[in-house]
Copies of this chain bind each other. A is one copy, B any other.
Amino acid sequence: MNVDKYFSLYERERIKIDEKLAKALKNRKPSSLYEPGNYILEGSGKRLRPLLVLFSAKAVGLNFNKVYNAALAVEMLHNFTLVHDDIMDNADKRRGRLTLHKKYDTNTAILVGDSLLSIAYEFLLKDAKGSRVHEIIKTFNKGLIEVCEGQSLDKEFEIKSEVTLNEYLRMITKKTAALAEMCCTIGGQLGNCSKEEIKILANFGKKIGIAFQIQDDLLDISGTTAELGKNIGGDLIEGKKTFLFIKALEKANLQQKRNLFKIVKNKGISPSEINFYKSLYEELGVLDDAKKEIIKYTKSALKGLGNLKNEDDKNLFTWLANSLIKRNK
């Protein structure tokens, strides 16, 4: 597999998406709305979701040029969720920069989030044309509904004392995986592909999405501040019921359980306690459990790719899945 070729393709298109995003809100008025919107869109990112749209469209024979607007749309939808989630989580930093509500204020951030979503539909409509427009908008909208439901479940977890691994998986499937699934589905639908092709692409998006979220949980404790662009241990500080926490609780002895329940009782820990809990997670082997789970879902994502028409597209998706496993931010 020509790894360099795929990496170059990803980087080239990621930069293109960055450039297009930076232009998307230019010259729109009022500036009180679109300047803060631009602040969010010009922050760098992996741009995984728009790239999933591009690669899925390519896999069914469609030129990138036909789907850039849809790709921008999913990134805008994603950024809408980030802006509103950051308010709800009271997060200070995102991608190494101040979150929108810290840079401006909460009211601005609420409205900018709303507006990003509205512009997302506008961009989607530029590419969604022809006989399948209803289906495409419906797919996009279903992704949006699931993201809202997933975020609501995530907030529920904050007040629930115990969360099972199944409940966790259901939550991240809605909160993270549904959007990745939607990106791949839309890419296929824009290319007017068959139901069978959609199935393969949707499965890739969904499973890669689950793997992605578990890895996010993992990176929160195993990553570095410099690479993540935010402080590590944030999930512990907020008392989030992550994969690591839930798995740790499953495996803990009585004393370890007591320590873990302290996180719940106190609704999070102080930064000085991060190392203690990191050691506990390591002792219980849950970082390795997370790695195994990530690999499991990544493998499951690749299933069915053999049925794609083009060998090169199969390799591109395989490279993408493998490079996500190795990511450090």
Could you tell me which A residues sit within 8 Å of B by CB distance? Answer: 29-30, 32-33, 80, 84, 87-88, 106-108, 110-111, 113-115, 117-119, 121-122, 125, 128-129, 133-134, 137-138, 141-142, 144-145, 148-149, 151-153, 155-156
* Alpha-carbon distance between A117 and B116 when the two chains are bound, in angstroms: 13
Question: What are the residues of chain B within 8 A of A121 when measuring CB–CB?
Answer: 121, 137, 141, 144
Closest B residue to A33 by beta carbon equals B152
Per a CB cutoff under 8 Å, which of B33, B144, B149 touches A33? B149
* Alpha-carbon distance between A92 and B128 when the two chains are bound, in angstroms: 41
Per a CB cutoff under 8 Å, which of B84, B114, B145, B155 touches A32? B155
Indicate if the CB atoms of B149 and A30 lie closer than 8 Å: yes
**How many copies of this chain sit in the oligomeric assembly?**
2
Indicate if the CB atoms of B110 and A145 lie closer than 8 Å: no
**5 further interface pairs, Cβ-Cβ under 8 Å (given A108-B155, A114-B117, A125-B141):** A32-B156, A87-B106, A87-B107, A115-B145, A137-B137
Indicate if the CB atoms of B114 and A138 lie closer than 8 Å: no
Per a CB cutoff under 8 Å, which of B29, B32, B107 touches A88? B107
The 9 closest A-B pairs by CB, nearest first: A33-B152, A115-B148, A88-B107, A118-B144, A121-B141, A118-B145, A32-B156, A133-B134, A30-B152
Indicate if the CB atoms of A30 and B153 lie closer than 8 Å: yes
Indicate if the CB atoms of B84 and A110 lie closer than 8 Å: yes
Indicate if the CB atoms of A125 and B134 lie closer than 8 Å: yes
* Alpha-carbon distance between A49 and B324 when the two chains are bound, in angstroms: 47
Indicate if the CB atoms of B88 and A110 lie closer than 8 Å: yes
* Alpha-carbon distance between A114 and B82 when the two chains are bound, in angstroms: 13
* Alpha-carbon distance between A149 and B119 when the two chains are bound, in angstroms: 11
Given contacts A110-B110, A111-B155, contact A138 B125 (CB under 8 A): yes
Closest B residue to A36 by beta carbon equals B152
List 21 A-B residue pairs with CB atoms under 8 Å apart, sorted by A's residue number.
A30-B153, A32-B156, A33-B148, A87-B107, A87-B110, A88-B110, A107-B155, A110-B110, A111-B148, A111-B155, A114-B114, A115-B145, A115-B148, A115-B149, A117-B117, A118-B144, A118-B148, A121-B144, A122-B138, A122-B142, A129-B134
